[in-house]
Amino acid sequence: MDRVRKDPPEAFPEADTRFFHILLPYEIRLTQRRAMGWGPTPDEELPPLFIGLYLIRIVPLEDTQIFPDEATLESIHLEFFTSLRRALRDSDILGRFGPNEFLALVRDLDPEQSYVVAQRVLSMTSRSAVLRKAGLTARVGYLIYPLTTQPNLPGERWTDLIDLARTVSRRPAPSAGATGFGILRGSEITQTDLPETDLINLATQDLETLASAGLIRLQRIHLLADL
């Protein structure tokens, strides 16, 4: 993956969240058009396009721990943001999404290589001295969109995808520390007429049932020392 500039940001862009509200509906509509084989002109077909939505949540390492004070936490976030930026490609978009959340949009993604992004993020997290010193770690939840071959999610409902990524990031892990889980299209999804909007709503409530039916695929990320 290409490296990015190493100069740390002076502060988070104030427009991060507003920017996602503008960008993600467009990205969803584009991937939907490509999933249907639509190109810029009626007689031009383009190969499918996938995007990865990676939600990175900073959380206490132990349930009994609490977050540092606001000033200290902001400093930690800035340093973490810089490290996180280095784990992504130049073309990937990263922004602060919530008080202790970051959102990365990864374009032109091969679903079978989606775990590499999460592994890079988790490896960076595990090496982060600033997080360890503060008793913090990260949870990564990601979703590779579109989840069906007939995607119809309204663009303005892009936050449903983020909610699903957040849900999968909260899956129990066998041990403390950085963990990552992802959701990909299941092998049996083409055999059902389940609307995409219903699939996403059901996945937020019951991932295991949909995974057992082959409608979605759950992926757990393991830390790799060489990433």
- Is the separation of the CB atoms in 127 and 138 below 8 Å? no
CA distance 148 to 54: 18
CA distance 200 to 189: 12
Q: CB atoms < 10 A from the CB of 40, how many?
A: 7
Does the pTM exceed 0.95? Answer: no
Name residue, tokens 């993956």.
Answer: 1
CA distance 117 to 56: 12
Please enumerate in sequence order all residues whose Cβ is within 8 A of that of 124, keeping only pairs 6 or more positions apart, or say none.
83, 84, 86, 87
In the chain the domains, ranked by start, together with CATH numbers, are 16-38+47-221 (3.30.70.270)
Q: From first to last of the 227 residues of the chain, give the pLDDT tens digit.
A: 444 444 444 444 434 777 898 899 999 998 998 887 655 555 556 677 899 999 999 888 776 567 777 778 888 888 888 888 888 888 889 998 888 899 999 988 888 888 888 888 888 887 888 888 888 888 899 999 999 988 999 999 999 999 999 999 998 876 666 788 999 999 999 888 889 999 999 999 999 999 999 999 999 887 665 54
